[in-house]
Amino acid sequence: MLRLFAVAGLGAAVVSACSHATGGSGGADGAGGGAPGGGTVQVRHLAGVAQVPARPQRVVALEARGTMETALALGLPIVAVGVDDLGLPDGLARMPGAEGATRIDVTSGGVDLEQLVLAEPDLILTNASGYDFSLASAGEIAPVVVLANNREEPWPATLRALAEPFGLQERAEAAITQYERERDAVRDRHARALASDTVTAFNGLREVLIVQGEQALVVQTLLDLGGRRPQGQPAQAQELSLEEIPRVDADRLVRLSFPSNDAQLDADPLYQRLPAVRAGRVVTVDGYSANIGGVESARACLRALDTLFALP
């Protein structure tokens, strides 16, 4: 099996348009655009500049969560998506446009080159924290655009930036507005609890515990709601020994679930004695989508937090 592996030193800019279409205009086909052959646009992104179709017809997202959902939110036609051994989160698999996408194996940290070729992409999307691959090799198959993820830029900025070169700004704003309406409704329902209760997001990882910091999507969503973390909790993720489990305590807890690590935490008596656990003020979320994601993952985080703050 042929695989593509990483190149180092990606930059820190967000994808953005740096020129208009050279042979046509409009958005992607199926997203307000027209037919193939609509010219090209130049896109500046994390790894440089790419000349891409103005109306891409066959888009491959090599990173499923933030990258694929950003593309689908804009109506870009996804024909294949990179999937690891954990599969595709249910919420993303149900997104319109995801159902018929071919799965490309990225289980071993690389991309199956043969599967990528068979997908016949005219545009390849990934992000800087996604699966490792060679930009040079992938670029021989189709233009590659490397997106920022929510750890580098807020997801609305990435959505808007990808929308701009394809003329899909209205779609981007509609998706952001929908999220904002849902956020405001959750904020209104739980104003008192948001003002009074602290929340910690965490997960088990083999022999340690990770207290999630402000780079995690679920924490970013909590702060966007106006929620509070415990005083003194660091902005960066913090690794604790299992003996330090009591330090994760807060009035309410968000537990990021990673199936391979859940059983050990469930069996730990220190975890079971946490006041929030004993009171049942815990919600469990998909660990990957609550960490890195786009608009759909952010909406899933909102729903989880809505459930959390509704607990007595």
pLDDT in tens, the chain (312 residues): 444 433 333 333 334 434 334 443 344 444 433 334 469 999 988 878 889 999 999 999 988 778 999 999 999 999 999 887 767 777 777 788 888 888 888 776 577 788 889 999 999 998 875 545 555 567 688 999 999 989 889 999 999 999 999 999 999 999 999 999 999 999 999 999 999 999 999 998 778 889 999 999 999 999 999 999 999 999 999 999 989 998 888 999 999 998 766 777 888 899 999 999 999 999 999 888 899 899 999 999 999 999 999 999
For domain 3-175, say whether CATH 3.30.1280.10 is its number: no
Side by side, the strands of the sheet bearing 238-241 are 238-241, 208-211, 199-205, 252-257, 282-286
Sole residue written with tokens 């997106």:
147
pLDDT tens per residue, range 136-180: 567 688 999 999 989 889 999 999 999 999 999 999 999 999 999
Which stretches of the chain are DSSP H helices?
69-73, 90-93, 113-118, 135-139, 155-163, 169-189, 191-196, 217-225, 259-266, 269-272, 275-278, 295-310
Amino acid of residue 98: A
CATH of 190-310, one of 3.40.50.1100, 3.40.50.1980, 1.10.10.10, 3.10.250.10: 3.40.50.1980
Q: Which of 77, 88, 85 is nearest to 119 (CA)?
A: 77
Q: Quick one: which H or E segment has residue 305?
A: helix 295-310
User: Any bridge partners for residue 83, and if so which?
Assistant: 105
What pLDDT score was predicted for residue 266?
A: 83
Amino acid of residue 151: R
141 and 32 in contact (C-beta within 8 Å)? Answer: no
SS3 content of the chain, % helix, strand, coil (to 5): 35, 20, 40
Within the chain, all domains assigned CATH 3.40.50.1980 are found at 3-175, 190-310
pLDDT tens per residue, range 99-112: 888 888 877 657 77
pTM, two decimals, is 0.85
